Amino acid sequence: MPGPTVLESLRAQLEEERASLRHQLEDLGAGDTALSFDENFADSGQVAAEQGENRLVVSSLTEQLADVEKALAKMERGDYGKCETCGKDIAEARLEAMPAARHCIDHA
């Protein structure tokens, strides 16, 4: 597990990332049941393609947000930095590169 200074830095990174992801999701209208598009647009195929693309982006951002929130919850519980597969410590360098990492490099 990282030392207290590194842990606080990682917590700050995760909180910043959480805020950014939430903002991106809000900008995309992720809370809406249907993403909004100009219904008068002549090319319905283009609209469908854009809707599909936006759904993929929203899905990816939602998954990233879930990973970040899970990492922050682990910090609160005191089990942050442990591989979910083998239970060993995740290398500090890996956590610094990917603060929301859930697995050690062997199980990534």
User: Can you tell me the mean pLDDT for 93-106?
Assistant: 96
What local confidence, expressed as pLDDT, does residue 14 receive? 98
Nearest to 72 by CA among 10, 28, 29: 10
pLDDT at 38 over 80: no
Token pair for 70? 């899970």
Domain parsing of the chain, residue ranges? 4-107
Instruction: Say how far apart CA 29 and CA 45 lie, in whole Å.
Output: 21
pLDDT tens across 55-70, in order?
Answer: 999 999 999 999 999 9
Q: What is the model's pTM?
A: 0.80
Instruction: Say how far apart CA 53 and CA 45 lie, in whole Å.
Output: 12
pLDDT at 22 over 90: yes
Q: Within 10 Å of residue 65's Cβ, how many Cβ atoms? A: 19
Token pair for 84? 């979910």
pLDDT band (50, 70, 90) for residue 7:
very high
Domain covering 4-107 assigned CATH 1.20.120.910 in the classification: yes
pLDDT at 43 over 80: no
Q: How buried is 102 (Cβ within 10 angstroms: 0-12 exposed, 13-18 middle, 19+ buried)? A: middle
pLDDT band (50, 70, 90) for residue 29:
confident
